[in-house]
Amino acid sequence: MRTVAWVLAALSVAAQAQVTSETLTKAQQDPNSWLSYGKNYFGWRYSPLTQINTSNVAGLAPAWILATGVPGNNETTPLVSGDMMYITGPSNTAWAVDLNTGKKVWSYSDYVPSGLGLCCGTVNRGFAMLGDKLFKVNIQSTLVALEAKSGKVLWETMIDDYKKGYSNTVAPLIVKDMVVVGTAGAEWGIRGYIDAYDAATGKRRWRFYTVPTAGEPGIETWGGNSFKTGGGSSWITGTYDPELNLIYWGIGNPGPDMDGSVRPGDNLYTCAIVAIDADTGKLKWYFQMTPHDVHDWDSIGDPVLLDATVDGKKIKAVAQANRNGFYYVLDRTNGKFIAAKAYTKVNWADGIGPDGRPILIANKEPTPEGNLVCPGLGGGHNWSATTYSPQTGLYYFGSTDGCQLFTVVKQEFVEGKQYQAGDAIGVPKEPSTGSVIAVDPATGTTKWRHELMSSTSGLLATGGGLVFTGDSEGYMMALDAKTGKVVWHFQTGGPIRAPAISYTFRGKQYIAVAAGQNMLAFKLP
């Protein structure tokens, strides 16, 4: 009888699991589900669940392991709704998973065409969900809507021409009745944008170009015709403030990456955070962290939304651990610069001025022979998910700590071909290391720093006083959110590149993460 009751309870949960715009706005009030990339619109990735906590986490063990059988880097943020988990894999794959058993309920896959311009594999960072639909991008620059219960394709829209170097890896963001996505391809001389599509039909509502064209504001920051190949990708999911009706999105590097001489100027809106009106797609404000970037320092780290107390006054802030080595706090109502602080070794700028611009140190551009610059090409903090815990009041992110030798070469642009004009290689005998860093979100002051052999995967903070992360050697670990001390670890058998999530099923708290080709769900015995 008890089993039947559980099943009925599970079914009723599933039946209720109709995700609406309202549900997403109030996502933080529902600790049991995980309905979007960042858990809530503010991008906190904070689960208030307390069942797994610092006192008992040592007993955390796998409940089930799903072998997807698909090789490649697994970067997905799983979604959990009702009794189902929805995950995407590399190479245009996806599955619905039964939370009772960890078995696949349905599978989705699409052909990966040849001729894609990809820096980093056929990766995918997850689904978005609205109503009875799931939304994901495919690597060949399409957006697809699936029926959640069956995996059936409801519509598929072409975002752009993959033969021109456009590709898509981002987890979409649902805003009202729209599916918002960004593009990858800044190493292929694309002109980037952020798109919004009608969730019901797949028809495009608006497009915001991240690089202006002739006659538009910002064009003066691009010498000659360089804007045409200006890059400005948008490959990590943004955040949304429903009250201000603004979407915040991090913008990638200018093209070509290392040769700044062919694109004189600040190169707006590359390496910036932009705030866009959700209804019109029009720019409300921008803040550029790295004007005229030549080190591939995309500003794509999570633009997390939180309240910061500055000079005794509470302000609505947007914070970002930027790839250039500095942590930034801005006023999210107007983009005004509030504070910035280096969180790793930086040798290219002597701090950030009161106007928010870096105080440059001379001769740090890439050279034909190779110029030593810190941080390296990947940053600092790169794309891996960050987390804010309202419990500790700290913001957590991972960092690669080290330097690289940046080179530059002359390169002609050919449409659809890689257009990087340089490279960065490691420094012999000085391998980069990694760390998980906890900062005061208002100032960027480091509260603790846990040093590791290399940078970690994305983070998850929980109400149990824990921060979860994984490493490329396959270790899943939990850190004490107050001190940074590792309090649990588990060898998963495959490299961890994805962030973990947490949810409740049948009264038990779970931690789930993709590792290697597998999806693992942990719970207490």
Partner 1 sequence: MWAGAPLALMWTTPLWFAPALCLAQNPFAGNAQAVADGQKLFVQSCAPCHGRTGEGAQGQAEGMRPPDLTRGVFKAGRRDDDLFRVISDGVRGTEMPSFKSLGGEQIWRLVTFVRSLSATAVVLNGDPVNGEALFWGKGNCGNCHQIGTRGNRMGPDLTRGGRRSNAKSLRTSIVDPNADISPGFAIITVVTRDNQKITGLQRWLDNFSARIVDESGNEHTYLRDEVKSVTREMRSTMPDNYGKIFNDKELNDLVAFIVKTRSEANSQ
454 near partner 1 (CB under 8 A): yes
Minimum separation from the CB atom of position 522 to partner 1 (A): 17
Q: And the tokens for 88? A: 């995407």
Q: Choose the binding region for partner 1 from 230-238, 329-337, 427-435, 458-466 (rule: CB under 8 A).
A: 427-435
Pick from 401, 488, 394, 493: nearest CA to 447: 394
CB 49 within 8 A of CB 393: no
Kindly state the smallest distance separating residue 194's Cβ from partner 1, in Å. Answer: 21
Q: Does 429 bind partner 1 (CB under 8 A)?
A: yes
Question: Do 361 and 432 contact (CB within 8 A), yes or no?
Answer: no
Q: How far is the CB of 145 from partner 1 (least distance, A)?
A: 26
x-or-dash pattern for partner 1, window 132-171, by CB under 8 A? -------------------------------x--------
The 8-class DSSP code of residue 164 comes to G
User: In the block, which residue shows the tokens 């106007």?
Assistant: 355
Candidates 16, 29, 114, 363: give the one binding partner 1 (CB under 8 A): 114
Cα separation of 251 and 245, whole Å?
19
Catalytic member of 241, 257, 266, 296: 296
Among 25, 106, 121, 506, binds partner 1 (CB under 8 A): 121
Number of chain residues interacting with partner 1 (CB under 8 A)? 49
Among residue numbers 375 through 404, which ones bind partner 1 (CB under 8 A)? 377-378, 382, 400, 404
| Residue 369 contacts partner 1 per CB under 8 A | no
Q: Does 324 bind partner 1 (CB under 8 A)?
A: no
Which of 223, 472, 482, 506 lies at the binding interface for partner 1 (CB under 8 A)? 472
Q: Is residue 122 near partner 1 by the rule CB under 8 A?
A: yes
> Locate tokens 């039964």: which residue?
98
Is position 61 an interface residue for partner 1 (rule: CB under 8 A)?
no
Binding to partner 1 in span 173-202, by CB under 8 A: 187
Binding-site member from 425, 445, 493, 508 for partner 1 (CB under 8 A): 425
Please identify which residue in 32, 40, 455, 509 interacts with partner 1, judged by CB under 8 A.
455
Q: Is residue 123 within 8 Å of residue 143, measured between CB atoms?
A: no
Paired sense of beta strands 304-310 and 128-130, if any: unpaired
Of 31 and 470, which has the nearer Cβ to partner 1? Answer: 470
Q: Which element (helix H / strand E) includes 87?
A: strand 84-89
Phi, psi of 117 (to 5 degrees): -100, 100
Q: Which residues does 114 contact at the CB level (< 8 Å), separation at least 6?
A: none
The CB-of-97 to partner 1 minimum distance in angstroms stands at 22
Residues 103 and 97: beta-carbon distance below 8 Å:
yes
Q: List the one residue from 18, 353, 414, 493 that touches partner 1 (CB under 8 A).
A: 414
Q: Provide CB contacts within 8 A for 507, sequence distance 6+.
A: none
In angstroms, what CA-CA distances link 185 with 53, 192, 472, 517?
A: 41, 8, 25, 25
Answer yes or no whether residue 428 interacts with partner 1 by CB under 8 A.
yes
Distance between CA atoms of residues 91 and 113, nearest Å:
10
Half-sphere exposure (Cβ direction) of 524: Cα atoms closer than 13 Å: 16
Site for partner 1 in 242-301 (CB under 8 A): 296
What one-character-per-residue DSSP string does 254-312 give?
Answer: BSSSS-GGGS-S--TTTTEEEEEETTT--EEEEEESSTT--S-----S--EEEEEEETT
Which residue, 407 or 446, has its beta carbon nearer to partner 1? 407
In the structure encoding, which two tokens stand for residue 300, read together? 């794509």
By C-alpha distance, which of 341, 317, 315, 316 is closest to 328? 341
One of 10, 28, 72, 482 touching partner 1 (CB under 8 A): 72
Per CB under 8 A, does 58 bind partner 1? no
Catalytic status, residue 302: no
Query: What is the identity of the amino acid at 502?
Result: S
Q: Which is nearer to partner 1, 69 or 217 (CB)?
A: 69
Cβ distance to partner 1 smaller for residue 81 or 344: 344
Residue (292 or 295) nearer to partner 1, CB: 295
Q: Write b or e for each residue in 348-367: b if 16 or more Cβ atoms lie within 10 A of its Cβ, otherwise e.
A: bbeebeeebebeeeeebbbe
Q: What tokens does 328 get?
A: 């930034």
**Taking the C-alpha atoms of 341, 345, 349 and 355 in order, what is their torsion angle to the nearest 10 degrees?**
-10
User: Which range binds partner 1 by CB under 8 A, 92-100, 209-217, 335-343, 415-423?
Assistant: 415-423
Stretch that binds partner 1, among 8-16, 120-128, 172-180, 220-228 (CB under 8 A): 120-128
> 381: which 2 tokens?
């903090």
Min dist CB 118 to partner 1, Å, is: 6
Q: Please report how close the Cβ of residue 428 comes to partner 1 at its closest, in angstroms.
A: 6
**CB 277, CB 217: distance < 8 Å:** no
Q: Which is nearer to partner 1, 384 or 387 (CB)?
A: 384
- The one-letter code for the residue type at 490 is F
Q: Given the rule CB under 8 A, which of 57-65, 215-223, 325-333, 449-457 is the region that contacts partner 1?
A: 449-457
Is 473 a binding residue for partner 1 by CB under 8 A? The answer is yes
Interface contacts to partner 1, rule CB under 8 A? 71-73, 112-116, 118-122, 163, 187, 296, 377-378, 382, 400, 404, 409, 411, 414, 417-420, 423-426, 428-431, 452-455, 471-473, 475, 477, 489, 491, 495, 497
**What is the set of active-site residues?**
296
